[in-house]
Amino acid sequence: MASGRMSVRELVGPVLIFVGALLVVVAIASPLYLVGQLEKTPMDTDFTTVASSQRPDGGTGSQALPAQILNRCSLSDSKPEVSDANLTRQQRVVVVKPANSEKVTFQAGTSTRINQIQISGETVAPSSDSTSGGGCLGALLLATKDRVTTDRSTALPALGGGGSSEVQLDASDKTVTIPDRTGLQYRFPFDVDKSKTYNYFDLTTRTSSPLKYVDSSEINGVKVFHYTQDVPEANLASLKDANDQSPQGTTLSQASSWYGGFPDIDRTQKLPAELYHKATRDLYVDPVSGTIINAREHVQEYFKISGVSDDAPAALRDYKLTNLDATFVYDQKTQESLADNAKDLASPVRLWGRWLPIVFGVLGAIALVAGVFLLLRGPRRRAATAGGATDPYYPVATHDDGGPDDSAFRDSDYRDPGYRDEESDRPTTVFPDLRKDTGGSGGTDDDATQNIPRVTDDPSQAGWSDPDGPGSAETRRDDPWRGPDNR
């Protein structure tokens, strides 16, 4: 009697199908779900960039002093002095509260310092004390602190639900809120698409401008997309500080002679001027992690005489006094550090978004094919007939003593149920040999199910009969195939 338990060989096919299906599901789900969880701004973001001033192509100044700035000490002189200088811009970006699974808040402190400056033909190194080195000109040229809450997936500002966007322009704790802030800043989203148009926020002008894809290159072993942005000219004096006034350093009021004088303008007349800003920014971005590996920014700031009518002299309309002209580029150490950071962020994304799904998909497909093949093939069993041939439809008939039996039925099968002899306790039931003669060929009927004898209720056909047999009812119990003619 069969136990109903599957053998190990029978289990292999279903198990392979299950494992294969599981691997295929993982291969499909990991890029869709798991990678989506990995492609978010890290909560532990904390990096520092250092950008040195460099002489722009075709620019003035020396390699040692590639930038130009307005010497503030000259505001009290008879004329302004624009000095060559060497500058360094440093920025630290760190994630602060509020931050959760969907949003993070960046706090970025940025400072521009004067390393060296040429004053009256002499190169000096200002210190943090404004009364030494460069005289009234201290080492700190500019400083800002910016806070913005962004979406962890899109990297765009997310100012609702407790988010913030504010900038601190001076040493006081007062900040200026920027409620309509848009565009990326400090990083791009994961999986950057070069065919997509991104806007980038310029903190100085508080405006967003589109980025244009230029080309692809490689920095420290990381493939990067090169984007460029032109920040249009903006009047910084029109912006407001925390006291609802023009930010410090964005306005001037000097005599006409101090500017150099203008036709038909009294040299003693006070002429107000306002500070304008424009920039060209080039960003080199790792498309996988969205990390900005390198940034090159050409900043131009200059004072223009304000309130000038269209019919004023051209010299007055076109007058510009340089306040800052510098090109800042990340130094080599910064680029190496950011490239390593990009690799760390991109590795799990590539692993679970590309390589493992391929491996899981291939292994899953192989397991499914093998499982289906084994399942359809099924276990191989040999069922022996009385004549020794393999017949899957025919049960194996054996004697109690293991030897052959030439009789189809035993006499004991027809005895009274109460009769008992010494061999009646044998446990093995002997099945009749239902093979029929096929004309001396020694073969068996191809349709073995037709060889099973059946019982009829017809009295004239009492006993066993075979639809393909002699056609007459049996007359002897010990010979089911013998007809009336063979009595």
Question: Residues with Cβ < 8 Å from 77, sequence gap 6 or more?
Answer: none
Say if residue 433's pLDDT is above 60. no
pTM for the whole thing? 0.69
What letter represents residue 289's amino acid? S
Q: What distance in Å separates the CA atoms of residue 167 and residue 174, rounded to the nearest whole number? A: 9
Q: What is the mean pLDDT of residues 169-178?
A: 87
Q: How does pLDDT run across 103-139, given as a tens digit for each residue?
A: 999 999 999 999 999 988 899 998 765 544 445 778 9
- Predicted local confidence at residue 347, as pLDDT: 78
CB atoms within 10 A of CB 323: 24
Which whole number is the average pLDDT over 377-387? 55
pLDDT tier at 312, thresholds 50, 70, 90: confident
Lowest mean pLDDT across 177-181, 202-206, 362-366, 384-388:
384-388
What Cα–Cα distance (Å) separates residue 147 from each residue in 41, 62, 210, 413? 16, 36, 21, 100
Tokens matching residue 286: 């790792």
* pLDDT, greater one: 430 or 357: 357
What per-residue string of b and e applies to 199-219 under the rule 16 or more CB within 10 Å gives b?
ebbbebbbbbbebebeeeeeb
Mean pLDDT for the chain overall? 80
DSSP string, 4-52: -PPPHHHHHHHHHHHHHHHHHHHHHHIIIIIHHHHSS--TT-EEEEEEE
